[in-house]
Every structure is written in C-alpha cells, then in structure tokens.
Structure 1
Amino acid sequence: VDMLSVCIALIVLLVSAITFGAHAHQHGGAHVDKAETVLLAGIAGLITYMIVGGLSGYFEDKLEEEEEREHEEEERAARTGKPKSAVALAGKAAFFMFLYLEVLDASFSFDGVIGAFAITNDIVLMALGLGIGAMYVRSLTVYLVRQGTLDDYVYLEHGAHYAIGALAVILLVTIQYEIHEIITGLVGVTLIAWSFFSSVRRNRALAAG
C-alpha cells in the first residue's frame, strides 16, 4: 500500500472532521458535532483499504513466485528430460490467481458501495444502481477493454479518475451541506463527457496532422 496516499488521506480526514464533521448536517436542517464519527468512519475505511491492498499485493507476489517456479521447472525438465508436475504447479498458480481476483473484486465492490453514498442515501436506489453496475457496466468495461477503446480515447481513464475524485470531494462536503443528487450525477457525467470529447478532438488533430 502506498504510504503517501495513506498520509494524504489521513490529513484530509483530519481536516474534514474538524471542519465539516463539527457541523454535520442532519435531516430537518439541524447541525450537530459528528467529528468523532467522521474520524472513526474514516479510520475504519483506511484500515480496510490497507488490508485489501496488503492482501492484493501478497497474492500478486505469490502468483509471480508460482509463475517463476513453473518457468524454472520447465527449464529443468527440458534439460533433464524428466516430466514436470504440471498439475501441481498449475493448481497453485490458479489458486493464487483466484484469490487475487477475489480480493480485487472486493476492493471494487467497496468503491462502488462507498461511492453510492455520494449520490443518494436511499438503499433501494443504491441496490438498483449497484445491481445495474454489476450486470451491465462491468460487461461494458470488459468489452471496451477488448475493443481497445481506452487506447483510442486516451483521456477517458483520466476523466474517470477526475469523476471519482469529484465524488470523494462531494461526499466530504455533504457531511455539512446538503447537495442535490442531480448535481452529483451531473458532475460525474460532465467530467466523463469532457474527457471523451477531448479524446475525439485529440484523435482528429492527430489524423489531420
């Protein structure tokens, strides 16, 4: 886990707890001191992030070790003429690959659930949105990756990162101020659309030049 990102997150968390958390917005328009709650929730999120990141790095290293070991076994078998235990090696590599992918999927699920709170607190809408994301958006993402769309529209990835950053800022601001869901949704859509049209303009400029 990148320690710099953790340090930045702790600083942002501390500032948010002191500023926004001290005057947290409640239903009905009242404001109460929720600095302790904000700090506790933020620290719990950071711990979860570090655990998931640590497990992801561990399984990734294990997977690389198994692949290197399999490669060494192949070279040794080629020199000696003895068959290698392909089943055992492939089984270990597949096992660590499975665990690695499961950890990555869990991290993406955390992002989706937490990000949904920046848009709405309605559990039904969150469930519908996450369900659509699981069934459609991920399939669309895989399709775009296979088609090389991200290579053609180079700024789409940057736009997605900016949209996630904007949602994070909005999520912090909504601790104290109420922001309408339409504004939150339009911010993300605007950033993605801007990155798309910037990519199109870049491609046209390259084609013309």
Structure 2
Amino acid sequence: MTPVSSTSSTSTLGYLKWAFIATAVGLVLGAWLGWQTTGTISGMATIFFICAVLAVLEISLSFDNAIVNANKLKDMTPVWQKRFLTWGILIAVFGMRIIFPLLIVVIAANIGPIDAMVLAASKPEEYARIMNNAHLPIAAFGGTFLMMVGLKFFFDHEKDVHWIAWLERNMSRFATIKGVEIAFVLTIILVFSSLLEGEEATTFVYCAIYGLLTFLAVEVVGGLLDASQQTMSAAAKGGLGAFIYLEVLDASFSFDGVIGAFALTQNLFVIAIGLGIGAMYVRSMTIMLVEKGTLAEYRYLEHGAFYAILILSVIMYCQTLVHIPEVITGLGGAALIGVSLWSSILYNRRELLEAHG
C-alpha cells in the first residue's frame, strides 16, 4: 500500500474497490452462515438481508467518523498512515465488532472468554440480553468521549473558519478559558444523571467520568508520545499518539452501531460480518478524503462532521432514558454532513464569481 498523499487521480470507484470486494465476500459468507444455521433458502435470504442492512447502518453512522479520521490522518507520517489503514482496520473489524461485544459479556456475566463465545453461539437470546443491559454504561462512556472530541474542535481560539458563525465565534472566544469544555461536559453529565434514578444514576456518572478521563488520558499520552518521537526526528510527528487517538475514537463511534445491531439480530457472527463490511467503506472513504484533498476543498465539511459527532453524543446520552432508532442517528449525521457539503459548494461558487467579477 502506498502512503496517503495530498493529491490523487484515482477514481471514486477505485477507492471503493476493496470495500466492494469485502461486500461480496461478506454477503456470500452471510448467506452461507444462514444456510448452515437454518438449512432453508428463506433462512439464508434472511441472514443475507440482515448483513446488507447492518452494512448500510454502519456506513450511515460512520460518515462523520471517516471525515474525522481523515482530518487526523492527513497530519500523520506516511508510516503511521499505512499502519492505521492496515492494523487499524483489523482492530476496527475484529476488535470492535467481535472482541468488544465478547468482553462486555465476559465482564457483565463474570464468565471466561471461551464461555462467552459459546454463549454467543448457543444462547444468542441470553447474549443479546446481557449486551442490552450493558447499554447504559456504554452510552455514558462513549457519549462523553465523543462530546469531548466535538467540543475540542469548536473550543479552539485559533479556529478562524466558521460555518454557523454566531455560534462558533463565541465558542472560539470562550476557548481562551481553560477547561471550559470540561466544565460544559460535567454540567451535561449532572443534568442527565439527575433524570435517572438510584443505581442507574450512579452508573451513568461513573462511566461518563471514565469517558472524560479516557479522552484526557489519550490526549496527554498522545501528546507525550508524539513529542518524544519528534525529538528523535522532526518528520515523526503524528505517529503513535495520533494512532491511539484514532483507535479510541473509532471505538467510541462503534459503540452505538454494535449495540444497535442487536435489534436486528442476536447472532454475533452475523453482526461482525455486516458491521465489518461497513468498516471497510469507512476505510475507503478516509483514504479518498485525504488523497483527494476533499477537506481542504470543501471548507465546512469538517464542521458538519463535528456537529454530527456532538449530536451523536447527545443521542447516546438520551438513549439512557428512551430508545432512539439507529436509523435516526445515521440519517441525522448524514444530513448534517450533506448540508455542510452544500454550504461549502455555495461558498466556492461565490468565491469563483467574485474572482471573475
């Protein structure tokens, strides 16, 4: 694989080649799994369809993930770009879509990894029940981490490109106050915890605080790692620290999709196939965004992605109180990114007219 560059003549279909291959292999594997588990044509077709729906769900939830990945990836060294696009996708597919759900059951049910795998294969209903019961702490942790990611983008006093100008200018101005985003997140945590009762409220607060501490720890460790690498070589900036940040970020994005997938099927292996296909599209979109310089060409695209992240974080919080269909989450994020893209196109047209005016 060649390092990600700033310009590329590769077509869109060229970037999606491996995603298409993963789709074909995944859907064939899903159909085979359906035949093996049910022994009927209708059962095979059902599993095939569920894999396809899960792939679409993952893609719709991950537009903003790809944009944020590209934002960080463009500043990474070619070596770490390549590592993220190879090791990172393996961690995303196998780590978050298979190992992560197993670990939740291992911890929640206090059983061994092998027992968790057996439970997933032999008692999928019980496995799904344990996963659903773990939704509150996962939503609190992941929602907090994503909220910090989104707020960090807007609470930046050096940020000079604003999409929703009146709001973003004020947020940029307040960024000079140290810890303002942390204070904001802690306030939101207190508000939502007050709407829960008893043990649920306590669990929410603890897991949200862990999410906040994880974000701060990743920031500190990432900064130290990149700084130590930079002392050895000026070209090494944006290495291991940025890699760790992106992996934790991808994990936070994946929480909602993994939990939501259990609404469609209780089969862990079907979920892994469907979401794994979607993860390959995220990888392809990330490479395309970086190589084609799309983030620089469409100035408000990042803004739309980070607004989508903030909305996703609030939705994850709200899901601790009421169920919100994942299709709303996905379509909402995609709509925001679409509007930001259209705003960017309009801006480019105005600039072009002024230049020729």
Could you say whether these structures have the same fold, taking a TM-score greater than 0.5 normalized by the shorter chain as the test?
yes
**Residue 286 of structure 2, aligned match among 137, 141, 144:** 141
Tell me which residue corresponds to 1:5. 181
Tell me which residue corresponds to 1:196. 341
**Residue 206 of structure 2, aligned match among 24, 37, 40:** 40
User: Counterpart amino acid of 1:189?
Assistant: A
Cα gap change, 1:8 to 1:126, in 2 (>3 Å): farther
Tell me which residue corresponds to 2:219. 53
TM-fit CA distance, 1:111: 2.5
Query: Which aligned pairs between 1:76-155 and structure 2 lie closer than 5 A?
Result: 99-116=240-257, 120=260, 122=262, 127=272, 130-155=275-300
Tell me which residue corresponds to 1:177. 322
2 CA distance for matches of 1:168 and 1:60? 27
1:32-88 superposed Cα distances (whole Å, 9 cap, x missing partner): 8621111121112122222212110110111222226xxxxxxxxxxxxxxxxxxxx
Task: Structure 2: state its 5+ residue gaps.
Answer: 1-151, 153-177
What TM-score results when the alignment is normalised by the length of structure 2?
0.43
Structure 1 contact 17–36 (Cα < 8 Å) conserved = yes
Cα gap change, 1:126 to 1:172, in 2 (>3 Å): farther
2 CA distance for matches of 1:12 and 1:153? 32
Structure 2 contact 301–340 (Cα < 8 Å) conserved = yes
1 CA distance for matches of 2:311 and 2:303? 12
User: Counterpart amino acid of 2:206?
Assistant: L
Structure 1 contact 59–97 (Cα < 8 Å) conserved = no
- Aligned residue-pair number: 173
Identity of aligned residues (%): 35
Structure 2 contact 226–239 (Cα < 8 Å) conserved = no
2 CA distance for matches of 1:5 and 1:141? 27
Structure 2 contact 193–205 (Cα < 8 Å) conserved = yes
TM-fit CA distance, 1:128: 5.0
Task: Structure 1: state its 5+ residue gaps.
Answer: 23-31, 69-92
Q: What secondary structure sits across from 1:177 in the alignment?
A: coil
User: Counterpart amino acid of 1:161?
Assistant: F
TM-fit CA distance, 1:99: 3.0
Q: What secondary structure sits across from 2:260 in the alignment?
A: coil
TM-fit CA distance, 1:121: 5.5
Q: How well do the aligned residues superpose, as a CA RMSD in angstroms?
A: 2.8
2 CA distance for matches of 1:105 and 1:97? 11
